Structure formats: C-alpha cells, structure tokens
C-alpha cells in the first residue's frame, strides 16, 4: 500500500467512526449531524452517504483555509452548512441555526495533513517555515511571538505538561539563551536547537516531536477547547444521540475517557439506595476504544496513535 502523498489528507478511522454513529441516525424525520472538525471533509463525505435529501450536516472548522476547501467541496449540497468556528462554539452555532438538538457529532482532534505539510503554517519540524502553529492564522499569537517573550519557567512547563517532554527544562533554558542572540523565527531553527539538547536514542523519532506538540497545543488552547467542547456537544445531543471523538495523544484521550465515564454523575456506592433508586447516568460509553488496524497504519502512519471513543446520550435533561 502507498503512503499518502505530501499535501494530501487521508481520513483516520473513517469506516469505524461512521459505523459507530449510524445507530444514532435511525430515528426522526429530519436527521441532523455535526462534523465539528471538518478538515478536508473526509468524515463529512462519509456521513453524507448515509443522509437523505431532507437531512442536514453542519461542518465546523477554525482554520480559514479548511473552511474554504470545505465550501468548495460541499457548497453545491443543500444538506450542508459550513461555518468557521472553534468546536467549543458548537452550541452557539447550533442556536444560530435554530437547531435544538442533533443526532450525531464527530470530532477528529488531529492536525490535518495539509496543515502539517504546508511549511508556511509552521506546524512541522520536517519542513522549514515561519514558526507560526496557529490553527487560525488571523487570531492569537504565533509560536515565534510566544517563544521570544515567554519566561523560561513558562516555556518549560508548556513543554513538560503539553508535550510530555523529559528535557523540558534544558530546552527552555537553551531557547532563552539563543533568543538573546537571534530571535526564533523558523521551524527549522527551533528543531535544530532542540536537537542539540535532546539525545537521539530512537532513529525513527525526531527529538523535536514532543516540543512541537506541546507548543502547538498551548498556542491553540487545544485542551481548553476540548474541555469546553465535551459538555457542550453532549448537551446538544438528543436522547439516543452519539458523540464520537478521535484523539491522537494521551492528554486528549485521557480527558475524553474520563468525561465519557460520567464520573461526576455517579452516585456513591456508600449511599443506602436500591438499584431502582439510583438515577441513570446522562450518557454512557459505547464499547471499547478503537484503534487503526495494521492495514490502515501501513497506508497512513499518522493513524498509529489515533484512538476512537464513542458515547451515547441517555437522558437529555440529566446534565
């Protein structure tokens, strides 16, 4: 099998995610779905194959280039509404459309291949370009702006907490030292700096991987966005509706797993209640987590770390 060409995007866990959402699409005269992270539209196109002419699909993305691509791909389809928005804004967008609830929501939390492969976006340490890393280049500060002004302790904490980088402190120290001589402006410049600090033990692992991940997560407030999105998305589902999340690193997956367990709604086993008196949980996890199979990983190595989790809304008024 061929690996994807640079600039192309291969949708991860496509069949699995759609299959897990299909049971939620069996009721209602008009079915409404949301692809909360549209990207280049792979998941959206697959969902549309299962929607009828009266059904609707809302596609969100915060990246203006992705929104333009989505509008070009689906602009002719009357069932599709495309909006530029962060996925944490899902409830506000639904309210603007007068959608009181939806049947299914999908969010793929990965960075798209075009974002990684376009050097000017600044996401990749493999391609030299401006050190930007913003999902929406029109908002917030770039990675370069932050790295050239942040305190050493803050940089170290970001690399450690978001990138899970063991060498966070020496990398942060090196960044602060180097920027006094030459401001950090390029991805290649940062990657080369990190390589002087992090020992290369694994020939298949780039020393800059964890640091770039941590900086990207911080610059785009990705964990904060996910924390806001999960309850907003679940509240937007009708009873029996499903939420599917594809995550790509342990910080995201841990957050999704804990939320889907609905721990904050569970009644303590110490309370003297009969089984019939225990209130039902507002949602429940569906099955076990799913990962890409060997064939998909061979075709698309970026799918190796993907984890799919699905939950179903049980009582619309419980949250």
For residues 319 and 240, give the distance between their C-alpha atoms in angstroms, rounded to a whole number.
14
Is the per-residue pLDDT at 55 higher than 90? yes
Is the per-residue pLDDT at 245 higher than 90? yes
At 149-203, the pLDDT tens digits run 999 999 999 999 999 999 999 999 999 999 999 999 999 999 999 999 998 767 7
Contact 107, 245 (CB under 8 A): yes
pLDDT band at 247 (very low <50, low <70, confident <90, very high): very high
221 is in an annotated binding site: no
43 is in an annotated binding site: yes
128 is in an annotated binding site: no
115 is in an annotated binding site: yes
pTM for this prediction: 0.90
Asked whether residue 189 is domain-assigned, the answer is yes
Count Cα neighbours of 174 within 13 Å in the Cβ-side half-sphere: 17
Return mean pLDDT, the chain.
90
Domain count of the chain?
2
108 is in an annotated binding site: yes
DSSP 8-state assignment for residue 229: H
3-state DSSP assignment of residue 134: coil
Range of the domain at 147: 136-219
Q: What is the pLDDT of residue 319?
A: 43
Compute the CA torsion angle 177, 180, 186, 191 (nearest 10 deg).
-10
Asked whether residue 122 is domain-assigned, the answer is no
State the CATH number of the domain containing residue 90: 3.40.50.150
Is the per-residue pLDDT at 273 higher than 80? no
Chosen domain end from 166, 195, 219: 219
pLDDT band at 269 (very low <50, low <70, confident <90, very high): low
């Amino acid at each position: 099998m061929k690996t994807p060409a640079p600039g192309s995007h291969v949708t991860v866990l496509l069949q699995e995610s759609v299959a897990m959402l299909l049971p939620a699409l069996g009721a209602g005269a008009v079915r409404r779905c949301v692809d909360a992270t549209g990207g280049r539209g792979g998941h959206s196109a697959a969902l549309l194959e299962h929607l009828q002419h009266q059904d609707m699909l809302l596609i969100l993305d915060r990246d203006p280039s992705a929104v333009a691509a989505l509008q070009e791909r689906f602009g002719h389809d009357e069932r599709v509404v495309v909006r530029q928005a962060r996925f944490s804004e899902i409830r506000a967008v639904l309210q603007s459309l007068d959608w009181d609830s939806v049947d299914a929501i999908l969010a793929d939390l990965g960075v798209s291949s075009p974002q990684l492969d376009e050097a000017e976006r600044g996401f990749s340490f493999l391609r030299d370009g401006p050190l930007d890393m913003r999902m929406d280049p029109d908002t917030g500060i770039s990675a370069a702006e932050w790295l050239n002004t942040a305190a050493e302790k803050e940089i170290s904490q970001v690399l450690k907490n978001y990138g899970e980088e063991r060498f966070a402190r020496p990398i942060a120290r090196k960044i602060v030292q180097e920027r006094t001589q030459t401001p950090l402006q390029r991805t290649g410049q940062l990657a080369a700096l990190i390589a002087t600090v992090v020992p290369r033990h694994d020939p298949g692992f780039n020393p800059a991987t964890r640091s770039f991940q941590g900086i990207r997560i911080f610059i785009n407030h990705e964990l904060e966005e996910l924390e806001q999105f999960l309850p907003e998305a679940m509240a937007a589902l009708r009873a029996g509706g499903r939420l599917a999340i594809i995550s790509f690193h342990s910080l995201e997956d841990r957050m999704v797993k804990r939320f889907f367990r609905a721990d904050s709604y569970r009644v303590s086993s110490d309370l003297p209640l009969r089984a019939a008196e225990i209130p039902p949980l507002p949602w429940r996890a569906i099955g076990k987590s799913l990962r890409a199979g060997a064939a998909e990983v061979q075709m698309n190595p970026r799918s190796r770390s993907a984890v799919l989790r699905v939950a179903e809304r049980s009582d619309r008024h419980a949250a």
